[in-house]
Amino acid sequence: MTDQEQINALLNFFKALADENRLKIVGLLAQKPSSVEALADALGLSASTTSHHLARLAKSGLVSALADGHYYIYSLNTDALRGMSQHLLQEENLPALSQGAVSPEGDPFDSKVMKAFVDSEGRISAFPAQEKKFLVLLRYVTKAFDPGRHYPEKEVNEILKRYNEDTASLRRGLVEYKLMEREGGGGAYWLVVD
pLDDT at 92 over 50: yes
Model pTM greater than 0.95? no
Residues 93-97: what's their mean pLDDT?
A: 61
Which amino acid belongs to residue 115?
K
Return the CATH number of 3-87, one of 3.60.20.10, 1.10.10.10, 1.10.3720.10, 3.10.20.30.
1.10.10.10
What pLDDT does residue 137 have?
Answer: 94
Q: Which residues pair with 73 in a beta bridge?
A: 35, 66
What pLDDT does residue 29 have?
Answer: 93
Contact (CB, 8 A) for 25 and 53: yes
Q: Measure the CA–CA gap between 158 and 4, rounded to whole angstroms.
A: 31
Q: What DSSP element (H or E) covers 72?
A: strand 71-76
What pLDDT does residue 82 have?
Answer: 83
Contact (CB, 8 A) for 84 and 9: yes
The sign of the torsion formed by the CA atoms of 135, 140, 146, 151 equals negative
Measured in residues, the chain has a length of: 194
**Residue 174: CB partners within 8 Å, gap ≥ 6?**
138, 141, 142, 180, 189
Contact (CB, 8 A) for 193 and 145: no
Q: Measure the CA–CA gap between 57 and 106, rounded to whole angstroms.
A: 32
Q: Measure the CA–CA gap between 189 and 194, rounded to whole angstroms.
A: 16
- What percentage of the chain exceeds 90 in pLDDT? 54
Residues 156-164: what's their mean pLDDT?
A: 93
| pLDDT tens figures, 29-73 | 999 999 999 999 999 999 999 999 999 898 888 899 999 888 899
Q: Which residues pair with 69 in a beta bridge?
A: none
| pLDDT tens figures, 104-148 | 455 788 888 999 999 988 899 999 999 999 999 999 999 889 888
Q: Describe the crossing of helices 167-176 and 131-142 by its angle, rounded to 10 degrees.
A: 100
What pLDDT does residue 97 have?
Answer: 61
